[in-house]
Structure 1
């Protein structure tokens, strides 16, 4: 079967001698049939190291980790594979025979299937199959409604994690009191390359304000949006980077009962 999209033809250039801990973006995400090669040398006094394929790069809150590969060099060396979702580790898979050795070079290959990850070392020693988080969860289909039964409160947060579609035009996040009353909307327009806050966008008294000078979203890139409620304002961060705040003096937080998301994104986590 041939490649399904242009991104399948793209080989991301290698990175040599990175400083640890090292974080980079995987262009296009971890699509079916993609491979990642990691080469290095285990320190002579090493106790453990890890390779994480994670959804975003923020520090607080910690991003979900779709695949955690963790060799541990103890009296009986072994490898742990696991997934971190919504701040909690799932059931781990343990591989008791570790061919990697202290003080020696290694080469690890991660092969990504439709619903599993298969790691190998240079000698084609097979590690446990891992089943990372999957996108396209039916309950997160877009357009998506997330209930806020208690409304919003100062210091409250909303975290939205997802993947931008290959040929996006726009997407938006709306805080709604009901379907006809939208006091706040965050809109991303890819043609205009603009991210905009709008207060009461469907009314004659609407007010719009551009969020950032540089447009922060890209096709086929994962993102993690964090909205923090402050007294009379919202603070916004993308992938752990603050994007400033937007004043909302007319917003009655207790009356906001729904987060509505629509447009050209695939969601995998919405938390409040």
Structure 2
């Protein structure tokens, strides 16, 4: 399915989920709680009206607990909640609802918090409703390949440089999503798609922003760097804008590893499967990069 991410300016929002909700899909939402916020709610519903059933009701209440429930045949069912409320007034947040076989898995700010078990069959869920005291900068449904979530990863942490295998390898239709902040004293950082974990392995795509200068892209093969480019077949989006196109020099099936290094603080990193990326409207609070892998 296509990735569909957009800015949400008017609440309440009631929208149809194209094709319905399915296992393997995830709702991503990036927003901010106003300083005068009381609560907000997000509902996966069987229809658009107030009388329709709600398969999953997610309701953070400021300075209180987060409440979850379902609504069936005109009645609220057994309430579930957790007291470790990650939402703070005046602060931005990132949230993922991953649809699993067992239920709705809730991730907030890089941390898995709860799984709300299915009470209403997924095939009946057709609508999404968002309402309350929240500013939604970006939201959308995506098909998940796999997601890695980090918290406060910086160059001073043991987690950077980060070198890890890409499960199943890199394939056409996959996209890397990265949210982070470049420190004020930063010099540069790099993201590399490699054929293996060591410095001697080939690099299919090396992305290297240099502060107050150009963004350098290249490949490394047989022990030598290739021809450097400053315009970039990965599609790169920074703050929602397509940046450049870097044509394939090494076959995708050889790419097995991701390497991130340098002056950058990463709050979220993940791979998702997409068929298209529509224009993204991103908030002033984040620096976001999207890299899509089209065919050779």
TM-score bin, normalised by smaller chain: 0.3 to 0.5
* Normalised TM-score (structure 1): 0.46
* Normalised TM-score (structure 2): 0.42
Q: Which has the larger radius of gyration?
A: 1
